[in-house]
Every structure is written in structure tokens, then in C-alpha cells.
């Protein structure tokens, strides 16, 4: 029997029981949100409005929104009302001088404008946690799914030292594409338990909210499936390697992401847009380097037991249970499972033997939570606990 799921958003985020109390007793850390009027920016604001460590100090958006109160500038699309703590904040242009009191800046900017703006904020010695794709391929910027590879924060000192001029506080951390995030969490659990994977085939059924607002036209998505999402398959195929790979030291003494090269992993992705509002469902088949491979029951047990560092350390936005394993043959389902733990973990079901590779299963991840803003939030929490944010 699976863990009880929810059909509506939970009223408050589940807080890890071992969340460190000393941080809670300190003054809250001032943060800013870039792209605050957009879909991801709104989700940041919902999560930050009740955060135990962070407090919103500044909101940034386009020039046409600057100078307005947030409630007048935003077209609010969340299921909860605009938080009172932000409703009357004046929106500012996305310029570093407007965020000088912030220690952390969360970016929900569109990729069309994120690159230059995020780079300017880093150069102004601000810590930027970005949901945009612009810096994911940068060899000195970590691409982090917080329930998988927060150890990649170790490359930040190199990022700072190679910047011209060198930085003391500023850096950029990116989180992964929403479809990649849902897939790599169970993959990380399997590699931790059984060693490297050799092959991965993933077919996604991605929610329309992943396309932003206003998103896919209704006449394209109602009574339909769109078997193409521009650039999505390539993202999954290379992001998976950077996330699951390690960091090595080159002959010149610099660190580099090894892209899983010590045990090459072949990834094939097919991506589809489906008429679901929130929640990406993915059908995954894997082959292990280990022979014989683990049994389906061993895989279920390893997935259920997976406990990432972010959970152990006590990041307050981390889920209490990272991977919920369902035994029913018809779970997980977006409508039933996407809001469990406020969408901070993933749900896995239908774990069974694959006649082509070794094991196949279905994973569901909430693309607007762990697939977006929640990941950035946990990344920042981990960085605070590890002293990366000064």
C-alpha cells in the first residue's frame, strides 16, 4: 500500500523533523526574487512567504512592472492568495543596486533575459540561485538537483576565483530542467545502492504548466498529445550526465565535471506534452553495469530507503520522504500524487523487470515544485548550512 496522497495543495510545507534550530533562532536572511511576476517567480514568493530562514526584501521584474506595487503588477496564477508580506512591496527593475541588502537572489527569469541579468548580479557579489537554463552548461557553474548532488557546490570557489575580477561572495547555482529533475532522483538512489547505470531510456508525459503562462494553446493540447517539446530531449540527455557525474581535478589543478565519464551512461529521451496542469510523469527503463542486476524488489527497497544529504542535514524545504514507492498497479498519478509533501519529493510505481534492459518504472514529479522553485530553495538552504553563503 502506498503512502496517503493529497488531491489539493497542503496548507503548509512539511518541515524536516531534524531542521537545525540554531539557524531558526538567528535573524532571517534577506532575499530577492527576479522575474517575480512570472509563473516561477510567483511560486518562489509562495514558498518564501512562510520560510523559517528567509525573508523577501526585494522583487524584480521588467521595466513595465517597475514602480508598481506587486499586487498591481502581477497577474496572479497561484491557488493561494498573494501573500500579504509581498502584496504592497514595490517592484524594481532587475538591477543589482536595487538588491544590495539581499544575501541571496532567486531567479525565475525567462531564458531570453536571464543570462546578462544573472551575470550582473553575480558580478555585484550576490549569490544567485537560478531556475533558468543559461548557465547550466557553464564548466564552473554547478547544476544541482538538491536531493541528488549538492556536493557539486564545491566548485563555487573556482567559479569565484576565475571571475574577472575575482569574487568573494557572488556566484551562480542552477537547478535542472523540470523533466530531468524527476528522473535523476530515483536514478541517484539506484546508483547509490547498486553502482553505475549503463543505459537509460525515458519517455516523458509533461504537464502544460511546464510551458509557462499562457503556455500551450488550448486547441493544441485539449483532446491531444503533442509529441515534441523543443530542446527538452537534449536537456535530459546531457543534464543527467552532469548531475549524476562527479567532479575531477585536471592536470592544471582546476576542477571539472566528469559527465559520468568513468562509467559512460547512454541516455535516450522522448518528450511529450499532455493535457495535465501540473506534474510530469515519466516512464523509465535502466540497465545496470552490475551483473546480475538487482531484482524489482531490491529496487523498490533501495528507492524507499534513499535519504539524501539535504534531508539528513535538515534543509527545511526538503521532503520528509524523498521517494514514495507505490505498490498499486495504477500509481503514481498526477491528480492523486503531485501535491504530496507539497510536491517536494517524487513518487515511483510500477517497478518491474524490463525485457530489453533490466528494470523499468514510472516516476511522477511536481514540475512547479521540486522541478523548479523548491529545488532552488533547497539549494540555497544547503548552501547556508554549509557556509557557502556567507
> Quick check: is 178 catalytic?
yes
Given 51, 152, 260, 280, the catalytic residue? 280
| Contact predicate 147/311, CB 8 Å | yes
Name every residue whose Cβ is closer than 8 Å to that of residue 351 and which is 6 or more positions away in sequence. Answer: 296, 299, 300, 303, 325, 359, 360, 361
> Quick check: is 51 catalytic?
no
**Of 187, 213, 221, whose CA–CA distance to 308 is shortest?**
187
Return phi, psi of residue 377, to 5°.
-65, -45
Alpha-carbon gap, residue 349 to 345, rounded angstroms: 14
Given 94, 178, 183, 271, the catalytic residue? 178
Alpha-carbon gap, residue 318 to 187, rounded angstroms: 18
For the record, the C-alpha cell of 114 comes out as 536571464
Active site residues: 178, 280
Amino acid at each position: 500500500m502506498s503512502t496517503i496522497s493529497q488531491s489539493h495543495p497542503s496548507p503548509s510545507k512539511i518541515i524536516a523533523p531534524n531542521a537545525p534550530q540554531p539557524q531558526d533562532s538567528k535573524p532571517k536572511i534577506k532575499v530577492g526574487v527576479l522575474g517575480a511576476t512570472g509563473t516561477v517567480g510567483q511560486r518562489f514568493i509562495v514558498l518564501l512567504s512562510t520560510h523559517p530562514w528567509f525573508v523577501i526584501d526585494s522583487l524584480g521584474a521588467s521595466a513595465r512592472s517597475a514602480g508598481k506595487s506587486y499586487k498591481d503588477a502581477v497577474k496572479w496564477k497561484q491557488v493561494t492568495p498573494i501573500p500579504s508580506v509581498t502584496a504592497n512591496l514595490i517592484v524594481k527593475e532587475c538591477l543589482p543596486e536595487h538588491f544590495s541588502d539581499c544575501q541571496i537572489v532567486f531567479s525565475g527569469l525567462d531564458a531570453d533575459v536571464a543570462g546578462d541579468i544573472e551575470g550582473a548580479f553575480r558580478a555585484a557579489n550576490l549569490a544567485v540561485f537560478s531556475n533558468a537554463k543559461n548557465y547550466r552548461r557553464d564548466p564552473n557553474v554547478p547544476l544541482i538537483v538538491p536531493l541528488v548532488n549538492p556536493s557539486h557546490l564545491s566548485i563555487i570557489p573556482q567559479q569565484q576565483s576565475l571571475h574577472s575580477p575575482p569574487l568573494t561572495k557572488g556566484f551562480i547555482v542552477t537547478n535542472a530542467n523540470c523533466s530531468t529533475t524527476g528522473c535523476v532522483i530515483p536514478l541517484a538512489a539506484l546508483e547509490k545502492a547498486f553502482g553505475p547505470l549503463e543505459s537509460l531510456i525515458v519517455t516523458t508525459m509533461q504537464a502544460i504548466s511546464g510551458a509557462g503562462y499562457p503556455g500551450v494553446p488550448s486547441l493544441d493540447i485539449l483532446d491531444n498529445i503533442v509529441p515534441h517539446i523543443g530542446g527538452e530531449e537534449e536537456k535530459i540527455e546531457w543534464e543527467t550526465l552532469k548531475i549524476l557525474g562527479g567532479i575531477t581535478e585536471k592536470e592544471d589543478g582546476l576542477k571539472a565535471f566528469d559527465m559520468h565519464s568513468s562509467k559512460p551512461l547512454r541516455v535516450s529521451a522522448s518528450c511529450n506534452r499532455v493535457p495535465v496542469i501540473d506534474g510530469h510523469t515519466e516512464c523509465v527503463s535502466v540497465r545496470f553495469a552490475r551483473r546480475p542486476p538487482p531484482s524489482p524488489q531490491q529496487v523498490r527497497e533501495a528507492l524507499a530507503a534513499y535519504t539524501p544529504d539535504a534531508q539528513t542535514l535538515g534543509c527545511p524545504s526538503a521532503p520528509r520522504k524523498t521517494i514514495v514507492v507505490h505498490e498499486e498497479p495504477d500509481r503514481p498519478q498526477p491528480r492523486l500524487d503531485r501535491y504530496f509533501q507539497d510536491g517536494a519529493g517524487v513518487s515511483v510505481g510500477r517497478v518491474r523487470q524490463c525485457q530489453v534492459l533490466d528494470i523499468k518504472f514510472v516516476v511522477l514529479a511536481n514540475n512547479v515544485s521540486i522541478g523548479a522553485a523548491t529545488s532552488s530553495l533547497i539549494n540555497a538552504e544547503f548552501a547556508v548550512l554549509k557556509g557557502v553563503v556567507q
